[in-house]
Amino acid sequence: MENRIDVSQLMADIRMRANAELRERAFDRGNTPEFSDAELFDLVERVLRGAVDDADRKVLLLSEILAGNKDVTLEPSARLTSHRPVVGPFIVFVKRRLLQPLTQWLYEYSMDNFRRQAQINRILFATVQALAIETARLRLELDAAHDSASKRGSGAA
Amino acid sequence: MKLACVVQRYGLEVVGGSESHCRSIAERLAAHHDVTVLTSCASDYLSWKNTYPAGASAVGPVRVQRFAVERPRNTHRFAELNNIVASGRATADDEAEWFRENGPQVPGLLDHLRAHGREYDRVLFWTYRYSPSYFGVPLVRDRAILVPTAEEDPVIWLRSVPEFFTLPRGYVFLTPEEADLVRSRANAPLPPSCVIGTGLETAESVVAGVSRPGPFVLYLGRVDPNKGCETLLRYFQQFVDREGARVQLVLAGPVFMPVPSHPAIVPLGFVDEATRAALLNSALALVVPSPYESLCIALLEGWNHSRPALVNGRCRVLKGQVMRANGGLFYGNATEFATALRELLDRPEMATQIGRQGLEYVNQQYRWPTVMHTLETFLASS
């Protein structure tokens, strides 16, 4: 077909322009002088975007390390119980049949926000993981550079 | 071949994506095979209340065997289970209970598969997340063909799913991205599969367009936060607030969320087929903001009318479809949305050409003879 348009090329151009606009906003009005460097901005954007895009697909190390720690676990579902031995079942019945329907609107509102919070946590964990990987990589490169420099130093001596 | 199609709901009034897909396929298979649809008596996917009579009937050319739903969904308990599942803390029992409560609970259908499943050459199951498929596939796994309609939502991450994905004899996928997703989750290499998508009839070019003041982008379907509409409305408002009302957003579908009162945002509510076609013929582009899809039929419909698409690039299926078709643009944030929309507005010839490329892709991949040929070949060989 004549004049066929390659969407991947077009999207690369659109993304470049969108990134330039975003950088300008973040630099000029966002009080982040580091973003005056376009190359640095692109690297930062790539790391953060990669973390966000893959957040749902990854086993996150931080989640695994924290697993089972009740202090950092969201517990959105209300457990309807009573500690009273005799009237307990009646109290639970009243809670379930009367109080729960009355507070349904609050429950649904909270649930929606808990879901959003859980998703934000996941994205933040993914971002921390991406940054930790970058740091670890730099650490390894730095160690290798030190090693080779010290070898060169001892060889010269 | 003697075929059974298992699906959660079935009927002319049932408009869900996987249910419509099942009906379209079953009706076409019935032209060459002995086809029975095994389904529930429910028409509503939220309550699963019995509305159709149980027993045998016919819907068009297809024999339908309906089974009563044992009990409607306990919505409160289901909401609780959803939260447990979404939190990633579900036990095996919680997961089994989630699949039961997701419903519809049709023990008669499962008994039928136990007693008569071996009388069918193949049993096709639609949508892994519903109870008839989840509990039915293991009963006839040597002849089960699963049409999973899998999406990247929390259910795919349940711990029982990888094992379940190893059970069927074969798979019918809607997109290559869906196949990749299921493959990545299964505990073992997948059995033979094919990718069919769905079929479309040629759009009527004689349908008149609609008259609106200026260009508009069109959203088709339920206006619902789960479909990405909250984000779409926010991005679009930012765009028109910054650039002026150069374009309108027309929402054609039932509304399930607050829509801001804004002169550039036009919620039409439910529209009939003729209006839908007229809107598609007149729109600048079709916008698809959904974060989760296994196949977006609205996207294919847009291309069927030569409309370019503007889709949520965070959804792998949508992005993959757009890239393969060369039929649209995608966005990952508000700035990309604005840049891509500006591109479509400022370069109408480019937009028209991208729409044409989308139509060309539909002509190659998504006409019924092509789709059914792929499926028939697969069923004969699997």
Residue B184, min C-alpha distance to chain A (Å): 10
Nearest residue, CB atoms, B83 vs list A19, A53, A77: A77
Mark B338-361 as b/e (b = at least 16 C-beta within 10 Å).
Answer: bbbbbbbbeeeebbebbbbbbbbb
Distance CA B347, CA B353 (A): 10
**Range 117-176 of B in CB contact (< 8 A) with A:** 152, 157
Please name every residue paired with B123 in a beta bridge, in sequence order, or none if there are none. Answer: B4, B144
pLDDT digit string, tens, across residues A97-110: 787 777 777 877 78
Distance CA A153, CA B131 (A): 69
What are the DSSP calls for B315-368, one per residue? Answer: SHHHHHHHHHHT-EEEESSHHHHHHHHHHHHH-HHHHHHHHHHHHHHHHHH-BH
Distance CA B78, CA B324 (A): 38
Nearest CA in chain A to B181: A57
Tell me the torsion sign for CA atoms A64, A67, A72, A78. positive
Total residue length of chain A: 157
pLDDT value, residue B42: 94
The A-side interface with B (CB below 8 A) comprises: 1, 3-8, 10-11, 14-15, 17-19, 21-22, 25, 49, 53, 56-57, 63, 73-74, 76-77, 100, 104, 107-108, 111, 114-115, 118
Q: Going by C-beta distance under 8 Å and a sequence separation of 6 or more, which residues neighbour residue B37?
A: B4, B5, B6, B7, B10, B22, B26, B59, B62, B63, B64, B65
Cα-based angle B1, B3, B7 (whole degrees, multiple of 5): 165
Residue B86 contacts A where some CB pair is shorter than 8 Å: yes
Nearest CA in chain A to B184: A57
Give the residue-averaged pLDDT of A19-30: 83
Nearest CA in chain A to B85: A115
- The one-digit pLDDT tens for each residue of chain B (382 residues) are 999 999 999 998 887 789 999 999 999 999 999 999 999 999 988 889 999 999 999 999 999 999 999 998 888 788 888 877 777 778 889 899 999 999 899 999 999 999 999 999 999 999 999 999 999 999 999 999 999 999 988 889 888 999 999 999 999 999 999 999 999 999 899 999 999 999 998 887 655 656 666 899 999 998 988 899 999 999 999 999 988 888 999 999 989 899 999 999 999 998 998 899 999 999 999 999 998 888 888 999 999 999 999 999 999 999 999 999 999 999 999 999 999 999 999 999 999 999 999 999 999 999 999 999 999 999 999 8
Residue B130 · residue B104 · CB < 8 Å: yes
Q: What is the pTM of this model?
A: 0.81
Residue B86 · residue A118 · CB < 8 Å: yes
Q: Going by C-beta distance under 8 Å and a sequence separation of 6 or more, which residues neighbour residue B187?
A: B162, B163, B165, B166
